[in-house]
Chain A
Amino acid sequence: MAAKKLNIKDKYRLLTRDLDWEYSYADRKEAFPYEDFEGIKITDWSKWEDPFRLTMDAYWKYQAEKEKKLYAIFDAFAQNNAHLNVSDPRYINAIKIFLTGVSPLEYQAYQGFAHTGRQFGGVGARVACQMQSLDELRHVQTQIHAMSHFNKFFDGFQEYSHMHDRVWYLSVPKSFFNDARTAGPFEFMIAIGFSFEYVLTNLLFVPFMSGAAHNGDMATVTFGFSAQSDEARHMTLGLEVIKFLLEQHEDNVEIVQKWIDKWFWRGSRLLTIVAMMMDYMLPNKVMSWKEAWEVYFEEAGGALFKDLARYGIRMPKYSDIIEKEKEHISHQAWWTFYTHGHAAGFHTWIPTDEELDWLSEKYPETFDKYYRPRWELAKEMEAKGERFYTKGLPQLCTTCQIPMLFTEMDDPTQTSYRDTVYNGDRYHFCSDGCKDIFEDEPEKFVQSWLPVHQIFQGNCGGPDVGDILSDFYHMNVGVDNMDMKGSPDELRWKQWKGVA
């Protein structure tokens, strides 16, 4: 007799809920020691609903299919020397940032979800976190495989993991995930599962990846969209977590709101580098950062918060500041990297006249007034053989670890700077958002490993910046860094293309 085929709801129930067991001789509280200390109240884990009722057998089936497609494309990319088909060798520098700054976060996400999933008393949540953990491991592996091809032909890819743990600007993404992973399991889920996955990763994995396709990078768009096909499931998990917490107990609302305020601010800060990649590092343009922000943050995030309003959740704190920042942050970040281009593990450049015109068109309120004049000056200096590199090391924000590059949004000529004194020491911040986060958890953030402080304390070798770059960061000085013009990357590209 043929067995009756189960529908997905029944199958999911049998393969999750019914696999759990009661604790007869062990103490349940000892088995799940982190479930209480954040103040979150769970009254009934059985109310957990995962709309993608993916069971392990279906998970392996579809993931295997995704991998086969993906690796077929990687093979085709490598066999056909497709790195020669990218729009412009400058584009590859965005991928260097991706490998050094983003891929290691996938690994941190894998670790984070493995740990967090273990800590939940509810079996549905545990299974969903386990799948997400496996997904994240797949993402870091596929990204390393995809970019290993570029490593054969371009500089700056060779020490991504070593650099991620040390380089001044890479401490920004690293510390973001360290903060989330050292939080309790529910905060981790609101930080990464909800704030990061539901709203913020879309900006990197959707419009930027579409941009990678538009710049001829078949390998990157393919790993990006393959990863993002998992993200759609992660986003749904993030939304289910937040609805579940808000429905479980009214006391959870205030705690969840505080985490939303913290993590949307931190996420907006982190995405500054993506803003810069979109506006300055994609030679063929898809959309501006501002346009992407309007679609994926304002429209999609706005719809989400309208939906959550019935639980008493409001838009994240400082949303008004965040809205104004879309006009500024990509320009402020690229200028900072341009002027610190000797200390970056990738090349920087002055946008072409055509690109400056595109920025003027896309940012009519701000670009000509505040930012274009800087590039006109940089062009004049470069023409005189005085390409500008700053001699100083930047002051860093204690919370987000980004150099003090942001301005007041109502006065874009004034650097935004805040400070506070804790136990007799003064701490510095880029914004009210970052200062609030510090003041709420000072004992956590006084431990920040701030790269510039570490350099001045003598913990990164030296004494000169050049020694630190080569010996501590493992950069090939004069090869990986400095301007795109005259770089070995540019010279090789010209040889391949047969142009002098």
Chain B
Amino acid sequence: MSKVYIALQDNDESRYIVEAIEEDNPDVTVIHMPAMIRIENEGRLTVNRETVEEKMGRDWDVQELHVNLITLGGNVDEDDDSLSLHWNE
């Protein structure tokens, strides 16, 4: 299975998003580079609204992810509750 990935700007909001991703996808690899954080996982990765809201302590719209997003790899599936990335093969 190939790796999906997402990269976020290294800032205060992303810190909570990364924490949420790590909690919901325990096998992810988190790579810190200058000004950015790259998160990789075999096959699939999900960002759940509820977990991010819990970490941030406020309401969070999944589409707010766009503000801090740098890049991603994988087929995207987005709805009101989560954004997920996956490869079929």
- A residues engaging B (CB < 8 A)? 7-9, 51-54, 58, 62, 65-66, 69, 202, 205-207, 209-211, 213-214, 221, 225, 228-229, 231-233, 235-236, 239, 286, 299-300, 302-304, 306-307, 309-310
Contact = CB atoms under 8 A, between A and B. Distances in A.
Contact of B76 (A52, A211, A229): A52
B71 A310 contact: no
Contacts of A65: 67
B16 interface: no
Given A62-B64, A210-B33, A225-B36, A306 B87 contact: yes
A200 to B, nearest CB: 12
A307 B75 contact: yes
Given A205-B70, A207-B33, A306-B89, 10 more contacts: A62-B64, A66-B67, A213-B35, A221-B34, A228-B71, A299-B3, A303-B3, A303-B4, A307-B87, A309-B89
A232 B34 contact: no
13 contacts: A8-B78, A8-B79, A8-B80, A52-B63, A52-B78, A53-B78, A69-B67, A209-B36, A214-B34, A225-B9, A228-B71, A299-B2, A307-B75
Enumerate the 6 nearest inter-chain pairs by beta-carbon distance, A residue then B residue, closest first.
A303-B2, A213-B35, A214-B34, A51-B76, A213-B34, A232-B69
Contact of A239 (B2, B70, B75): B75
A302 B3 CA distance: 10
A225 to B, nearest CB: 5
B48 interface: no
B63 A8 contact: yes
A214 B32 CA distance: 12
Contacts of A225: 9, 35-36, 70
A232 B80 contact: no
A92 B62 CA distance: 37
A196 B4 CA distance: 19
Interface string B51-82: 00000000000111011111111111111100
A202 B71 contact: yes
A441 B10 CA distance: 45
Contact of B2 (A202, A207, A286, A306): A306
Contacts of A69: 67
Contacts of A8: 62-63, 78-80
Contacts of A214: 34-35
B67 A231 contact: no
Contacts of B68: 229
Contacts of A221: 34-35
Contacts of B64: 62
A207 B36 CA distance: 9
B7 interface: yes
Nearest to A199: B73
Contacts of B7: 206
Given A8-B79, A9-B79, A52-B76, A231 B71 contact: yes
